[in-house]
Structure 1
Amino acid sequence: MIHADLSDRQDGWREQLWTRQLTEDTFEVACLPFFTYGICYRDVVTIDSNHLVNRVVRKSGHRTLRVALVAEHADRDQVHELLHGKAVDAGLPHEWLQGTYLAVDLPPGSDEAPFVEALEPLAQAGALHWEIDS
């Protein structure tokens, strides 16, 4: 397990990344990062002596669709169920964090359009925020 330094957003903040070790200091990312930009599932990264990511050495071609549900939105539970169903129906690996944050793996060649079609009206209604990272 390694960490990504996110202290540029909040002092001391880090994201734990599950990985598969390839060499002494090279790792393949084996999770869906929720907060770390520029690193996606199966990317290969190197670490420094503090086990912090210091660079991406190979991109996998995967992208991460991230969604943050708005906590005070009245239909939050319904939105959660809708998005969970979309991920399951599409057969895409996904992870939830605290029921509020969703990360969906978009493998090379996958089409995010079904998610975007569901996300856009919800974002316009103030129920969530979303982005795609590569």
Structure 2
Amino acid sequence: MSDRQDGWREQLWTRQLTADRFEVACLPFFTYGICYRDVVTIDSNHLVASVVQKSGHRTLRVALVAEHQDRDQLHELLHDKVATAGLAHEWLQGTYLSVDLSPGTDPAALVEVLEAPARASALHWEIDS
């Protein structure tokens, strides 16, 4: 798990590499600075203590505005785009999208699709590394 300032935590799935090192095996939705396949250590409370090796993966996050009239159409459009591009991705509650950008992946085509809806306040997006 990773702790945010307000005490909220996101559960991260990991794969144990050694007694004290774990590889992140999921796409974080809310945890900054940790991406798929990063190697982390955890503390006695099973919270991430540190990132000891970056994988080179980045995470593109999208939050659809739940009340926006175009939300369902945007969900379908984004799902089609990431699936057609062959990008690993996960949805949370149909409004949060996390996309794995493996090393060398150019997100330009996906970013282009996000720009107009972002200007229309239909979604928010960012890329974390």
Equivalent runs, 1:1-134 vs 2, <5 Å: 3-6=1-4, 8=5, 10=6, 12-134=7-129
Gap regions ≥5 residues in structure 1 = none
Of all paired residues, the percent bearing the same amino acid is: 78
SS of equivalent residue, structure 1 residue 61: coil
Q: How many matched pairs? A: 129
* Secondary structure at the counterpart of residue 116 of structure 2: helix
The Cα offsets for residues 37-90 of structure 1, whole Å up to 9 and x where unpaired, read as 000000000000000001000000000000000011001000000000010010
Unpaired segments ≥5 residues, structure 2: none
Q: Does structure 2 retain, via aligned residues, the 8 Å contact 1:94–1:104? A: yes
